[in-house]
Structures are given as structure tokens and as C-alpha cells.
Amino acid sequence: MLNNFMDPAILFFLFGVGAGLVKSNLEIPAPISKFLSLYLLMALGLKGGFALAQSGLTLEVVKGLGAALLLAIIIPLAGYQVLKKLTGPFDAAAIAATYGSVSAVTFITSVQFLDGQQVSYSGHMSAAMAVMESPAILLAVFWVNSVRTQTATTSNGQVHSLRQTLHESLTDGAQLLLLGAMLVGILSGDQGKAMMAPFSVDLFKGMLAFFLLDMGLTTAKNFPNLKGQSPWLMAYATLGPLIHSGIALMVALALQLSLGDSFLLMVLAASASYIAVPAALKLAIPEASPTLYLGLSLGLTFPLNIILGIPFYFQIAQKYVA
């Protein structure tokens, strides 16, 4: 686990957190941060597409995507049942959606971790990440619409359309780029892989380190949002990901997934969205507090996963996956 702290990308994340805590004026301009995010998603999609071009549509692909969809439904369903006992229905739905979805940056960091460990994984796991993005949002909208119908009150007098939310989720730019890059990788195959290697392989580690520096600065800014939060919600943000990763491990063992795929499934289950889902929730559930669900995911769960969670999940996967 200590080796993870020596990874340059993780060190830059820690440096960013430290710079933010001492209130340094160091900052990454928003357009550059956006570019880095899009680059990482595009490179990840290409890697997955090239791998799928080599393997084709196999039983392993079907099992991996099926496991991802199952977890994307189970985790927010279970989370909502717990959270609505700890807070109001709107905040409960928003937090359940946030923790039922995934963090692309945590996944990308995990892929880089596996590369460093020289452990193989399947290219379709990038598609699994995309599969796990939207179900939690749709479930949250269904829950809050039920509450609004029962109380006959909404913030704007209308129940937010499930169809509208589905469209927003499926046409999200980041998700479209990931799937589009994956399609390009599948169609171009080995020839495309050789042509794009300087872009999708050689630059990847440096770009990830630069982006994690920015995420460290952003994380430090979100620490104040944790003040005054319910200790029960703080406990959920800390222990929930561990439970979610355990559920993912059981699913992976039942389906006999490989070590690399099992680990990535655990990471996806343990992660929480802080970009795509909060953006959708702001429109779909305006009654929920962004300070709450964003503060928990970005101020607590994200740094714990990046620093401690990734090596811990890998050790657990190594222990139980043959």
C-alpha cells in the first residue's frame, strides 16, 4: 500500500491538497482542467476500444457489463433505504444517486495502478464504467417524483420528466466522448492503436498527474463543506464505499471474473460521482443540497479512495480472486 504513495500521480494529488490547505494561489485554469478531463476519457476509451477489437464480443464481455448493470441498480437501491432514515427524502435520493454512480478519475487512476502492477484487465471495463453512470440518476428522479406526487409540491410546480433526465444522462458530453473513443478504437483496431500510441499511451501518465494536481486543489476547497454535517452521513461516506466494494467482489467471484476486472469492478462500486451526477441532480432535484452530496463525495470519499482505497481494494481482490 505504501508504494501507492510513491506514484507521481498520487504525490501530485497530495501536493494539490496541501497547496489548497495552505490557501496557495496555485490554480489550474478551468479550460485546461476541462481539456485534461476530456483527454483522459478519450485516451481511456481508445484503450478499451483497441482491447475490444482484439478480443471481440465474448462471454467475459457480457459478464462484465452485466455485473456493472446489476451493481448500478443494487447499490443506489440499498443506499436510498439507509439514507432516507438519516436525512430528508430529497437529500437521500441525491446522495444515493451520487454513490450509486461512478467516478471516472478514480477508475482511470485504478487502471494506471494496474498497469504499474503489471496486472491485465479487459478493455470492456471502460464500457462497464459508462453503463454504471446513469441508472442511479434515473432511480433518484423516480424516487423524488414519487415524493413530489405525494406532497403535491415541487420547486417549479412540475414533476421533472424521467424522459428528459434519461436524455440528459445519455447525451452527457463526457460519456459520449468515452463511448465514441471506444468505438473508434474498435473500428481502427491494431493499426489505429499503433498510430495513436503517442497520444493515448505516452502522454497518459503525465496528463493524469496534472489532472490529479487540479483535483487535489479542488478537494481541499471542499473540505469546509464537511463542517457541521451529520456524523451518520459522514460514516456513510466513509463506510459505504467499503460495503459497496464488498458487494462487487461477491458479484465478481460469482461470475468468476479475472483479478484485474474484479478489482476494477470493486473500484467502480466504491467510487462516487462528483461531476456528471451533481450536474444532473442540480436540474433534476433542485430541492437537494449540493453542498451535502458534493461535499461528501469530493471532500471525503474521493480522497480516501485515491490515497487508501485503491491499494486496499487490490489487496482484497488478490486475496480472494484466484
157-178: pLDDT as tens digits:
455 555 666 666 666 677 688 8
Q: How far apart are CA 280 and CA 34, in angstroms?
A: 17
Residue 65 in any domain: the answer is yes
| Whether 90 contacts 144, CB under 8 Å | yes
Q: Output the pLDDT for position 201.
A: 83
Query: How many domains are there within the chain?
Result: 1
Look up residue 124 and give its DSSP letter.
T
pLDDT at 157: 47
The pLDDT of residue 137: 84
> Residue 17: inside a domain, yes or no?
no
Q: Which three cell numbers stand for residue 223?
A: 473540505
Q: Are 50 and 193 in contact (CB under 8 A)?
A: yes
Of residues 149 and 93, which shows the higher confidence score?
Answer: 93
Task: Please report which confidence band the pLDDT of residue 315 belongs to, taking 50, 70 and 90 as the band edges.
Answer: very high
Q: Is the pLDDT of residue 155 over 50?
A: no
Q: Does residue 85 form part of some domain? A: yes
Kindly state the average pLDDT of the residues 31-53.
Answer: 87
Percentage, residues of the chain above pLDDT 90: 49
pTM, 2 dp: 0.84
* Domain annotation covers residue 69: yes
> What range defines the domain where residue 156 resides?
29-320
Q: Say if 57 falls within a structural domain.
A: yes
Name the more confident of 254 and 172: 254
Establish if 161 belongs to a structural domain: yes
Average model confidence (pLDDT) for the chain? 87
159: DSSP letter: P
What CATH number does residue 180 fall under? 1.20.1530.20
Residue 105 forms part of a structural domain: yes
